[in-house]
Chains A and B, each alone.
Chain A
Amino acid sequence: MKKVENKLQQAGLWIRFVGWLERRAATVFLLPSVLVILAFVLFPLVGSLYSSLARLRFSEGGLELTFVGLANYRKLLLGSEQGHFLGQPGAGLWALVVMGLLALVLGVVMYHRWRAGRSVWIWLGQPLLGGLLLLAFTWLFLSRLWPGTRMGTLQTTLFYVMAGTALQYLLGLGLALLCAERLPGTRFFRVLFILPLAITPIGVAYMFRMLTDTGKGPLVPLWEAMGLSGFSWVNDPWGARLAVLIGDVWQWTPFAFIVLLAALQSVPQEQVEAAAVDGASRWQVFRHIIFPYLLPASATLVLIRLIEGFKIVDLPNILTNGGPGTATESITLHAYFAWRTLDIGTAAALGFLLMLLVSLITSLYAAWILPRARGQV
């Protein structure tokens, strides 16, 4: 009798536990991830924030961090490191023209929103805030493009990220679409196009150093045939940047490829066939049926590549060592060089400036592009 009661009680407990689990499902699914990230991210974040406000000094008995306030940031934005980080501007008429055009577009957007009777934040606040940022970035970038001016690590990084992400996405999309065709042999290509991801970034960097070698690289005969043998293109700022960009695209296009290939599988085939029966062209099928299914994954993919791209370091470090001069140096590489000379404060400050920049760009992206791509607007 007692035994049965015990069993019943246990069963009751079990049922109550299952019921509790079912009610708390939302928490059970999400909480572990949040806790894991909180546990291992908070401490490094706080630690490096503190070191960005400090300077490492040699003292009796070793090294010592002394608090110096915002001195590291001041040095980068206004002081001795300004040219290195932000570049040296030249007066550019056409930069002003481009900015004027941008301002005009902004004005039109604001006018339309105002006419549509949107709230003050929507018609005035949002475009003004985003627009001013956009103008500031345009200026920072365009005013450093002429001869006689110099790009800082900020502009170089922006160039890698923007050009790299765009190229990787377009190439990855094209290859994914081609491989999704049911042609014989596409299995082989699918595996082949994933390969570059399998090489450690540092290995890719060394590999491209072999390939771009101007004395014994495999492309030397090609340069000679093009009459470029005397021209050492890794010593030209844009040539060197291009080399880094090609390496980056070579390595990361597979990422776009594999994500989009998997996303293509969720496109309902019946819809595609039906549209084709109704006489839609291939472009129309892609634009109106396939592409909308790819949008959420595309938005995520671009976001991840934006965030990761800003951290580019191995490729310029090994391929060009940041040179010629500082032409190919990214922000992370700048931080790495500072850090190697034990200037930990400057390295951390650079890291936080980069974080600020990426957060800004991601929040603009999250506010304007993500909701549209994910079909929430």
Chain B
Amino acid sequence: MRRGRSPLAPSLWQVGLTYLALGLASVFVLFPLYWLLITSFKLPVDVNSGPVYLPWVDFKPSLHAWEYVLGTLGSDVRRAYVNTAVVALCSALMALFLGTNAAYALTRFQYHPRVGAIVLFVACLALVVGLVASGMPWQPAVGLGLVGLILGLQTLGRRFKKHLGNEEIALWLISNRILPPVVVVIPIYLLFQQLGLLDTRTALIISYTVINLPIAVWLMRDYFQNIPHDIEECAQIDGASRYRIFWTIVLPLAAPGLVATFLLLLVFAWNEYLLALFLSKANSQTMPLMVAAMSGTRGTEWWYMSVIIMLMILPVVILAFVLERYIERGLIVGAVKG
């Protein structure tokens, strides 16, 4: 009957339903964004007088907010923009690089971290904390702890044979994200103060890399798991090193996952607020801080805020358009056949 068509080709009403569902979801997604866009062209009086919906029909659009943000605030916004871009790109790339390596390792090798060693590590840590709390300067205390750890590992640690596995390592990695940032900002602030990195992009890059790393590991681990091992085994028989296999075979195959993960990491770093609030002042200020700053002593200035949010979305949209094509099907199938 319907010769030549794939048996999976949807019928007409299925296509219709699909578009209907997509359309409804788009309205849900787009309406808030539309409201934001028109608010950025409204005069304060239009915002405060009650809802108006259509430019040129309900109200006369004005560029006053854009002029203020790009003109009067121009240099601040430009600096914040560059800061955000640099910090987000660097930290996303670093987290992706480290996380991809770790994720690959966790899917292809077996690890056996010994319980004895972990207990010993925690004990030494407690020792160091105790010493510092009782008034010892931190440098000798840490040194003492390290010596204790190494001595202990060489002697006591070998006695205990019980060990954990890869799943436990992965869980430990993700568990580092459990503590709410409100609780850890003060110690992190003190840490970067000690390192002399307050109000620098470096501090933000480091902290975003650390907080995003577990997510990179977990997401990439799943994509690697679905990549068949046969290809790698063939390459290994042909004499390729582990690193060469990883870079030239596994990574290209994981491209959809890599792109999706990169986008997510970038967006998380792009939008982070609380740590930026603490670790930066004028020099390394990022865009989310500018958004929050628009709600100050004069009430919330919705029109300026909308402009800044619009500016923040723009690069992500462009990047999403550029990278979207790499989240595509078909790479794996071809590689296995060839």
Contact = CB atoms under 8 A, between A and B. Distances in A.
Given A29-B101, A203-B291, A370-B167, A37 B210 contact: yes
B106 interface: yes
B178 A178 contact: no
Interface stretch (A124-132, A141-149, A269-277): A269-277
Contacts of B179: 44-45, 48, 351-352, 354-355
Contact of B171 (A26, A206, A366): A366
B222 interface: yes
A202 B125 CA distance: 37
A358 interface: yes
A259 B133 contact: no
B101 A216 contact: no
B68 interface: no
B288 A202 contact: yes
Contacts of A194: 263, 316, 320
B49 A216 contact: yes
Contacts of B188: 44
Contact of B10 (A181, A193, A198, A362): A181
A217 interface: yes
A210 B219 CA distance: 34
Interface string B194-223: 000000000000110110011101110111
B173 interface: yes
B29 A250 contact: yes
B267 A197 contact: yes
Contact of B39 (A199, A210, A219): A210
How many residues of B sit at the interface, in one of the four size bands? 35 or more
Interface in B9-32: 10, 15, 18-19, 21-22, 25-26, 28-32
A211 interface: yes
Interface in A125-184: 171, 174-175, 178-181, 183
Interface in B241-283: 241-243, 246, 256-257, 259-261, 263-264, 267, 270-273
B141 to A, nearest CB: 12
Contacts of B47: 216
Contacts of B263: 194, 258
Given A30-B101, A358-B178, A359-B175, A183 B18 contact: yes
A191 B320 contact: yes
A41 B184 CA distance: 9
Interface stretch (A78-86, A104-112, A115-123, A303-311): A303-311
B176 A41 contact: yes
Nearest to A208: B32
B18 A181 contact: yes
B174 A191 contact: no
Interface stretch (A17-25, A92-100, A228-236): A17-25
A5 to B, nearest CB: 27
Given A192-B29, A332-B182, A335-B183, A36 B256 contact: no
B70 interface: no
Given A202-B288, A203-B288, A255-B264, A266 B182 contact: no
A265 interface: yes
Given A216-B51, A358-B178, A200 B288 contact: yes
B225 interface: yes
Contacts of A245: none
A332 B180 CA distance: 7
Nearest to B47: A216
B283 to A, nearest CB: 20
Contacts of B223: 262-263, 266, 297
Contacts of A339: 182
Interface string A219-250: 11100000000000000000000000000001
B214 A352 contact: no
A207 B213 CA distance: 29
A40 B6 contact: no
B86 interface: no
B32 to A, nearest CB: 5
Nearest to B133: A50
A207 B309 contact: yes
B50 A220 contact: yes
Interface stretch (B71-79, B151-159, B324-332): B324-332
A314 B273 contact: yes
A196 interface: yes
A33 interface: yes
B235 to A, nearest CB: 13
A48 B191 contact: no
A264 B328 CA distance: 9
Interface in A286-343: 293, 296-297, 300, 303-304, 307-308, 310-311, 313-314, 331-332, 335-336, 339
A12 interface: no
A47 B187 contact: yes
B29 A29 contact: no
Interface string B78-96: 0000000000000000000
Given A37-B213, A273-B7, A258 B182 contact: no
Nearest to B173: A37
Given A29-B104, A198-B312, A374 B177 contact: no
A302 B330 CA distance: 26
Given A211-B35, A265-B329, A300-B218, A42 B125 contact: yes
A359 to B, nearest CB: 6
Interface string A38-65: 0011111111101110000000000000
10 contacts: A42-B125, A47-B184, A192-B30, A194-B316, A216-B47, A259-B219, A265-B331, A304-B218, A351-B182, A355-B179
Given A268-B333, A359-B175, 11 more contacts: A22-B242, A25-B109, A29-B242, A44-B191, A178-B22, A183-B18, A191-B317, A198-B312, A199-B313, A258-B260, A310-B178
